Structure 1
Amino acid sequence: MPAKRGRPTASDRAERRERVRAMISRILIEQGLSALTFDRVAEAARVAKRTLYDDFGDRAGMLRAAVERQHRYLHADPPVPDDLVDAAIALSADLLRDEAVALQRAVIAAAADHPEIAAEFYASGPRAARRFLAARIRSGDPEGDAEALLSLLLGELHRRRMLGVSPAPDAAEITRRARRAVALAVGAASR
């Protein structure tokens, strides 16, 4: 099949961006933050370094893209409903997956030496997750209640996942945990 000539279509650009984001995640997970360089990503993803700079700007931008890829619920099509239980299920399903857990391990391993990367991860990941939940909470303190809910959703299971001692939960387990966490968080907030 001959190579295409001319400007890539919007569809081609979206496919390329997703392929590059997947490669960034793979490099981070398999080789760590020190391996995340524009040269390595460009070679592995078969794109020009200039394309990477245009799309991501810098290394923090590449990390942000990898983290956003783990938070699929933020950009779901169709969007996740405003129902808090549906939101909790979508968030939990994404963040308890093997790839999301492995990416977080890689960032934590580098956090002490690269606090700017840890800050970028937190802003793109946990803070975005908390805001996603807060937008669906109708209480006097939606940010505080969202923080509590996020802790209940991930909590001990996430810790076990991070340590590699528990497998990813199935859909039924995620749904059960999300319903319980919402009941506990919303129930506590309404007292």
Structure 2
Amino acid sequence: MLYAGFMSADLPPLPNSEEPVDTPQLLTVGSAVDEPCLRADAARNRARLLEAATRLIAEHGVAGVTMEAVAAEAGVGKGTVFRRFGDRTGLLTALLDHSARTLQADFLGGPPPLGPGAPPVERLRAFGVAVLYRTAEQLDLRLAAQPDPTRRFSHPSVRALHTHVTMLLRQILPDADCDLLAQTLMASLDPALINHLTRQCGMPMERLEKGWLALVDRVTGTGV
């Protein structure tokens, strides 16, 4: 399955409410271990190919991502794409890996309000908005990569996001069942639901964004 290996490292258990929750620490995902060993030109080629594939998905969907199309979009030979990713599945897996690490870097160590430095409720609001729009941008890819139902909530990539939301909730509502509340909040950010609401129900992203902000306010009791 494509999604297997998206995040290979096991995540640590959810922290206790007494533990610090704002220390940036990028989670290990997929091929991240390999990337520091790449030559500078190889790293640039990899980034260039991933950017080209991302553009193709935005314009033509996942079906438009072939090794030949990515090579043409990036202005390199087809052999370069095969050497870097092996095959189409390897390329798509690398796209998900890259997207996950970028989001994690932003909410663990990026500028506020998504990153550290803003009040936890503001970070929670910004987190959901970021996930909504990034999921919408790569919706076909994320739908194709959905794990099977028995692994849907236990998969490391889902646990990473759940852990972050739980930690923020523990700062806002220290006496609440934040683990369960995080599951409730994350359910509204599910790619399948976003697909249903935007493509099948015709809802604009602005409505989903307002819905997330309202949900956070109601769950945390911080609405004005």
Q: Taking structure 2 as the reference length, what is the TM-score of the superposition?
A: 0.51
Q: Distance in 2 between matches of 1:154 and 1:119?
A: 12
State how 1:163-178 maps to structure 2 within 5 Å. 163=200, 165-169=202-206, 174=209, 177-178=211-212
Structure 2 residue aligned with 1:95 = 131
State how 1:106-117 maps to structure 2 within 5 Å. 106-108=141-143, 111=144, 117=145
Q: Which amino acid aligns with 2:138?
A: L
Structure 2 residue aligned with 1:182 = 216
Structure 2 residue aligned with 1:118 = 146
Q: In the superposition, relative to structure 1, how do residues 135 and 18 fare at CA in structure 2: closer, same or farther (>3 Å)?
A: farther
Is the CA contact 2:135–2:142 (under 8 Å) kept in the aligned structure 1?
Answer: no
Structure 2 residue aligned with 1:135 = 167
Q: Deviations over 1:64-100 (max 9, x none)?
A: 1464378474466336137432222222322333x63
What is the aligned-residue RMSD (CA, Å)?
4.2
Deviation at 1:152, TM superposition (A): 5.0
**Larger helix percent:** 1
State how 1:37-56 maps to structure 2 within 5 Å. 37-47=66-76, 48-49=80-81, 52-53=84-85
Counterpart pick for 1:150 among 162, 166, 186:
186
SS at match of 1:135: helix
Q: Distance in 2 between matches of 1:43 and 1:76?
A: 35
Q: Which runs of 5+ in 2 are unaligned?
A: 1-38
**1:68 aligned to 2:72?**
no
Q: In the superposition, relative to structure 1, how do residues 168 and 57 fare at CA in structure 2: closer, same or farther (>3 Å)?
A: closer
Aligned length, in residue pairs:
164
Structure 2 residue aligned with 1:114 = none
Q: Distance in 2 between matches of 1:125 and 1:167?
A: 26
Deviation at 1:146, TM superposition (A): 0.9
Counterpart pick for 2:110 among 64, 77, 82:
77
Q: Which amino acid aligns with 1:119?
A: P
Structure 2 residue aligned with 1:160 = 197
Deviation at 1:133, TM superposition (A): 0.9
Is the CA contact 2:197–2:203 (under 8 Å) kept in the aligned structure 1?
Answer: yes
Q: Taking structure 1 as the reference length, what is the TM-score of the superposition?
A: 0.58
Where do 4+ consecutive residues of structure 1 move more than 4 Å? 15-18, 122-127, 152-155, 176-179
- Higher relative contact order by CA 8 Å / sep ≥ 6: 1 or 2? 2
Q: Distance in 2 between matches of 1:26 and 1:69?
A: 18
Q: Deviations over 1:3-48 (max 9, x none)?
A: xxxx637xx94x6554433322233344343443444323322342
Is the CA contact 2:162–2:186 (under 8 Å) kept in the aligned structure 1?
Answer: yes
Q: Which amino acid aligns with 1:118?
A: Q
Q: Which amino acid aligns with 1:77?
A: G
Q: Deviations over 1:151-171 (max 9, x none)?
A: 35779x94432437233329x
Is the CA contact 1:85–1:178 (under 8 Å) kept in the aligned structure 2?
Answer: no
Q: Distance in 2 between matches of 1:51 and 1:84?
A: 43
Is the CA contact 1:152–1:181 (under 8 Å) kept in the aligned structure 2?
Answer: no
Q: Distance in 1 between matches of 2:72 and 2:146?
A: 25
**Percent pairwise identity:** 19
Q: Which amino acid aligns with 1:100?
A: T
